[in-house]
Amino acid sequence: MTVIALKFGGYQEPASIHNQAAGRFGELLKKTLGDRVSFELIGSVLKIGRGSGDLVPMVESGELTFCYMSTVRFSKAAPELQLLELPFVVKDRASVFKALDGELGEIARRNIDSKTKCRLLGYWDNGFRYLSNRVHPIRKPEDCRGMRIRTQMSDLHGELFRTLGFEPIKCDIKDFVEQVSGDRFQAQDNPLTNIYNFGVHNHHRYITLTAHFWGASAFVCNAAQFRSWPRDVQVAVDAAAKEATARQRQLAAVEDAEIMKKLDPAKNEVIELTDAERGAFREAAQPVLDKYRKQLGPKLFAYLGA
């Protein structure tokens, strides 16, 4: 019997909800397929000297079978995913997952499947993103001026931060985690789970709950490998992916509250914005939204009621 070797790569700590879901995916496959498959989870390729940006190429080359990665990395192949890189367009999880599990997600899925060497297995919850910094509390756009901020590899994110007055610097999470204690960056944005699990809270006293972005992660596999598997293995992978995706979303829905309990008020000041303060950020972001509403077209925004 030929054993099918499956390798899953991530970029987070073992306790992260992404790696918990990836582990659950492997457990389900072993339960269904038994000794026909082997499953290895490399929870953080950062620890073997690779960047998070290496994950998708590693899957496309066959070095890995599966990975999760921010949809930011797929927005060239699937331009409609740029919608998720825009500020304040996602109001709540229910509406965005209705869109991603429906027509919007299917359009992006077809583009990813046809334009990359990946097969999309699901959309995971990458969380609402918040600002953290080492300088001072941020309550209004003016507080951002002149601050150097690490950003994801997204031009759109950079546009927003520049509009707010930041000096954005694109940087892989591997390099950022290595440099967060230094002077290159004064601020960054991430979900609370990453702020805590990557140890950013140890260097950034101030955390502002702006929820300016919400992100999705694409859960993908090597398309050629998938096609090579027997039909029952393909069915098992799709079923396990569906269950792991549901589990990941459940974990994400409660993660912010769990992280808030872990933060020490003596070390971190969490700034919760008033409606008026949040409105000031939305108003400052409006030029970016207006630009991309024209560029992407109103139909895409309609998927999210934005």
**Any idea where the domains of the chain sit in the sequence?**
4-303
- Looking at residue 11, the DSSP 8-state letter turns out to be B
- Are 221 and 65 contacting, i.e. CB atoms less than 8 angstroms apart? yes
The pTM for the full model equals 0.93
Neighbouring CB atoms inside 10 A of 31's CB total 10
- Are 135 and 187 contacting, i.e. CB atoms less than 8 angstroms apart? yes
What is the residue-level pLDDT of the chain in tens, covering all 306 positions? 689 999 999 999 888 999 999 999 999 999 999 999 999 999 999 999 999 999 999 999 999 999 999 999 999 999 999 999 999 999 999 999 999 999 999 999 999 999 999 999 999 999 999 999 999 999 999 999 999 999 999 999 999 999 999 999 999 999 999 999 999 999 999 999 999 999 999 999 999 999 999 999 999 999 999 999 999 999 999 999 999 999 999 999 999 999 999 999 999 999 999 999 999 999 999 999 999 999 998 889 999 987
- What is the number of alpha carbons within 13 Å of residue 297 lying toward its C-beta? 6
- Are 177 and 197 contacting, i.e. CB atoms less than 8 angstroms apart? no
Query: What would the two tokens of residue 206 be?
Result: 């101030």
3-class DSSP state of 129 = strand
- Looking at residue 22, the DSSP 8-state letter turns out to be H
Angle (nearest 5°) at CA 175 between 174 and 179: 120
d(CA 133, CA 113): 38
d(CA 240, CA 47): 27
Query: What would the two tokens of residue 149 be?
Result: 């901020």
3-class DSSP state of 204 = coil
Class of domain 4-303: alpha beta
